[in-house]
């Protein structure tokens, strides 16, 4: 298992970085309509990936609680 999958904090940091990058892409209004559409699609993909990382971090954080252990 990769380190990013073991630690919720690193997943949350990656998600925050992707959300910042998506915001930067959406804020950029330079170029023609194709460039803007491509940036908008990239931002949507980044937001989807960030959401996935946040959900995974939440699941990992939930597993670390001792009262959830079966024994």
- 3-state SS of the chain? CCHHHHCHHHHHHHHHHHHHHHHHHHHCCCCCHHHHHHHHHHHHHHHHHHHHHHHHHHHHHHHCCHHHCCC
Residue 38: pLDDT band with limits 50, 70, 90:
very high
Question: What pLDDT was estimated at residue 39?
Answer: 96
Alpha-carbon separation of residue 71 from 3, 6, 33 (angstroms): 26, 22, 58
pLDDT tens for residues 2-18? Answer: 554 556 778 889 999 99
Question: What pLDDT was estimated at residue 60?
Answer: 78
Q: For the chain, what are the domain ranges?
A: 8-63
């Amino acid at each position: 298992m990769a380190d990013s999958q073991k630690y919720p904090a690193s997943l949350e940091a990656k998600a925050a970085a992707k959300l910042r990058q998506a915001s930067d892409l959406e804020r950029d209004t330079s170029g023609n309509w194709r460039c803007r559409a491509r940036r908008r699609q990239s931002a949507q993909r980044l937001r989807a990936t960030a959401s996935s990382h946040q959900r995974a971090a939440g699941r990992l954080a939930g597993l670390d609680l001792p009262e959830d252990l079966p024994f």
